[in-house]
Amino acid sequence: VTNLAQLARLIRSKNAGPFWLTFDIMFDSPENYLKVKKSGAIKREELARRFNLPHQEFRIYFCDNALAIKISIPRPVTQGDCGDSDGHGGQQYAPLMEIEIPDSGFPRGHFRRT
Amino acid sequence: VTLDQHADNPQEIRVLAATGVCGSGFLEETFERALALEPHVIGCDAGSTDPGPAYLGTGEAAFPRDAVKRDLRIMLKGARRLRIPLIVGSAGTAGGDPHLEWFKAILLEIAVEEDLAFRLAIIHAQQDRAFLERLYASNRIQPLDNAPSLDADAIARSKRIVGLMGAEPFIRALSAGAEVVLAGRATDTAIFAALPLSCGIPASVAWHAAKILECGAAAAERRRHPDCLFAWLRQDHFVVEPPNPTMRCTPQSVAAHALYENANPFHLVEPSGVLDISAASYVREGNRSVKVAGSRFRPTQLYTVKLEGVELAGYMAVLIGSVRDPFIIRQIDDWLARLKRRVRERVTLIYGEQVAAYRFDIRVYGRDGTMGRLEPVKKVSSHELAIVFEVTAASQQLANAVTGIVRHQALHLPIPEWDGMITAMAFPYGYLERGPVYRFNLNHVALPEDPYEMFPMELSEIEGKAIQDHQK
């Protein structure tokens, strides 16, 4: 298996307005993008487990022309309200980095970055 | 402005985005290169909710005045030299009336200093509460996804509410001959879509190009610093290129930018309709440009104006401390729960239950300070923890007083491992007054009679140095 962070060019999070938080997972090559997309690893149950949220909260979009996967959730705390810890929503993506992508069908280590 | 007035190629409109947000900067050299490409309009976004609710609440701007003035001076001089319109939207971060006034003062200062004359349109976006209450009463304010609950009181409670104007108020200003349009809160895209739409560029091309332009060079492959972006809009496609020759757009960088800060990457909602970019194609043109085609714009039957509002959450005092004792760290949850109870007891004793309503938030850095309840890692493995205590109350005085109690209780709250008086926390200094804190309280759209009624316009002739003479 390979971690998502090793396959993606960029994993980021950001506000989408004060009430939504959005994650972008971006790839350099169609190979890596399709490997992740086809693996089925980016699914609501997996995300729910990694973020302590009900799976219904997650909306997942596969953007083939941008080689990107977008995930959006309602913000747990409205941006800037008492108790909000991340005004720009920029540091919420770390749990995505370790999602495991099975290597099946590809030579072992082929996509591994160092 | 009509197509005929830009006669060299009536099928093409050229748009220059100076930078992502006025005050964040761009290279003057890049801007000059872009002017040589003969844009028909210069646009610049000047605001966002991203810096938080405080700016809409206080009326202040997030970017320094001198930084805004620097960017604005270069844009204004360039626009006047080429005799093309300059459009600035979401003035002063939050786009309310005080923000617009602040920005206008900077603009007039530059007009005097550079002796520039132009017709100015000011478009207001701050909303009258009585007007919104009438809309609410007639069911013409509706919630978006994940909206806080709204009642008539929420409008009355709001410190300030703005509406995000669409392209129409900008087009009206351009039709009135405005050479500089300074607008309150607007959709980022309306700033860039307005002139192309008024010149007959199809809505699908105009809005999609606007979405790519609104953040300036952010759509380039590697944006090392904020800078300009340029687009050529034609009947069935647009081409986008960074005028800075060291940057380039790639099909992927442009496609990816459409994702930025949107919850839904395929549908972008504007007041007059929805841009659907799910079938868009992005094709490399030359080394640094990308040709974009294939998006759709579906006009909506109802014209919707998104509202942004804030209300006072209270007054906050903040205390920062840390712990190093492993005995305390291993029982930190329990220790903080005991601290909360102790503080509650002390405050009730002093002020009584009724008077002393306050909110007490504790952030533990080294545990889940960044992610809060989203944090999946439960084990604390740090040898020290930073703890931020925040007390929010109806008055600054009460917030300060409770924070004083927190400090003293935290300092000496015992743990079973040690006998005798301990000093349990390190405080680098005393509490800090944060002052009034605000919260966003609207995620709603208004359904006005027409695209203009919420956005009144003032036209005036600005006469360069003569402004100063009048004032003498």
pLDDT digits (tens, 9 = 90+) for B209-264: 999 999 999 999 988 899 999 999 999 999 999 999 999 999 999 999 988 888 99
B-chain residues within 8 Å CB-CB of A29? none
B252 in contact with A at a CB cutoff of 8 Å? yes
Is residue B211 within 8 Å of residue B240, measured between CB atoms?
Answer: no
Residue A108 pLDDT level (bands cut at 50, 70, 90): very low
CB contact under 8 Å between B443 and A17, yes or no, is yes
Helix %, strand %, coil % for chain B, to 5? 35, 30, 40
Lowest mean pLDDT among B198-212, B247-261, B432-446: B247-261
CB contact under 8 Å between B440 and A26, yes or no, is no
B53 in contact with A at a CB cutoff of 8 Å? yes
Residue B133 burial (10 A CB sphere; 0-12, 13-18, 19+):
middle
- How close B323 comes to chain A (CA, Å)? 20
B148 in contact with A at a CB cutoff of 8 Å? yes
Nearest to B263 among A20, A80, A83 (CB): A20
A54 in contact with B at a CB cutoff of 8 Å? no
Contacts of B442 (CB under 8 A, 6+ apart): B147, B148, B150, B154, B158, B161, B307, B308, B309
A29 in contact with B at a CB cutoff of 8 Å? no
- Residue A103 has a pLDDT of 81
A44 in contact with B at a CB cutoff of 8 Å? no
Amino acid at B212: I
Q: Which residue from B383, B382, B404, B384 is spatially nearest to B393, judged by alpha carbons?
A: B404
Q: Which residue from B127, B120, B83, B86 is spatially nearest to B105, judged by alpha carbons?
A: B120
Token pair, residue A61, equals 């979009």
What is the rounded average pLDDT of the residues B93-100? Answer: 98
A97 in contact with B at a CB cutoff of 8 Å? no
- Residue A105 has a pLDDT of 55
Distance CA B85, CA B69 (A): 18
- How close B199 comes to chain A (CA, Å)? 29
- Residue B207 has a pLDDT of 98
- Residue B346 has a pLDDT of 95
Q: Which residue from A30, A22, A8 is spatially nearest to A70, judged by alpha carbons?
A: A22
Cα→Cα distances A106→A2, A31, B4, Å = 11, 10, 58
What is the rounded average pLDDT of the residues B23-37? Answer: 98
**In 3-state terms, what secondary structure has residue B318?**
strand
- pLDDT tens digits, one per residue of B367-413: 999 999 999 998 999 999 999 999 999 999 999 999 999 999 999 99
What is the rounded average pLDDT of the residues B431-445? Answer: 97
The 10 Å CB-count burial string (b at 16+, else e) for B193-214 is: bbbbbbbebbbbbbbbbbbbbb
A-chain residues within 8 Å CB-CB of B147? 19
CB contact under 8 Å between A16 and B374, yes or no, is no
How large a percentage of chain A has pLDDT more than 90? 87
Nearest to B440 among A24, A78, A86 (CB): A78
Element (H, E) at A70: strand A68-74
CB contact under 8 Å between A95 and B374, yes or no, is yes
Nearest to A61 among B256, B266, B361 (CB): B266
Is residue B191 within 8 Å of residue B197, measured between CB atoms?
Answer: no
> N- to C-terminal Cα distance for chain B?
35
- How close A70 comes to chain B (CA, Å)? 7
Give B392's strand partners: B316, B359
Phi/psi for B258 (5° steps) reads -60, -20
Nearest to A15 among B50, B369, B392 (CB): B50
What is the rounded average pLDDT of the residues A88-101? Answer: 97
Q: Which residue from B347, B342, B346 is spatially nearest to B414, judged by alpha carbons?
A: B342
CB contact under 8 Å between A18 and B280, yes or no, is no
- Residue B9 has a pLDDT of 56
CB contact under 8 Å between B49 and A17, yes or no, is yes
With CA atoms as reference, the chain A residue closest to B370 would be A85
Instruction: Evaluate if residue B117 carries a pLDDT over 90.
Output: yes
A-chain residues within 8 Å CB-CB of B260? 14, 24
Lowest mean pLDDT among A61-75, B6-20, B83-97, B192-206: B6-20
- Residue B2 has a pLDDT of 46
- Residue B469 has a pLDDT of 67
- pLDDT tens digits, one per residue of B252-271: 999 999 888 889 999 999 99
Token pair, residue B472, equals 């003498």
What is the rounded average pLDDT of the residues B84-108? Answer: 98
A93 in contact with B at a CB cutoff of 8 Å? no
Distance CA B407, CA B343 (A): 10
Q: Indicate the average pLDDT of chain B.
A: 94
B357 in contact with A at a CB cutoff of 8 Å? no
Amino acid at B420: G
Distance CA B214, CA B402 (A): 45
Nearest to B146 among A65, A74, A94 (CB): A74
- Residue B163 has a pLDDT of 98
> N- to C-terminal Cα distance for chain A?
15
Distance CA A22, CA A16 (A): 6
- pLDDT tens digits, one per residue of A77-92: 999 999 999 999 999 9
Distance CA B44, CA B210 (A): 11
Q: How many CB pairs under 8 A join A and B?
A: 130
Residue B468 pLDDT level (bands cut at 50, 70, 90): low
A-chain residues within 8 Å CB-CB of B53? 18, 79-81
Element (H, E) at A33: helix A30-39
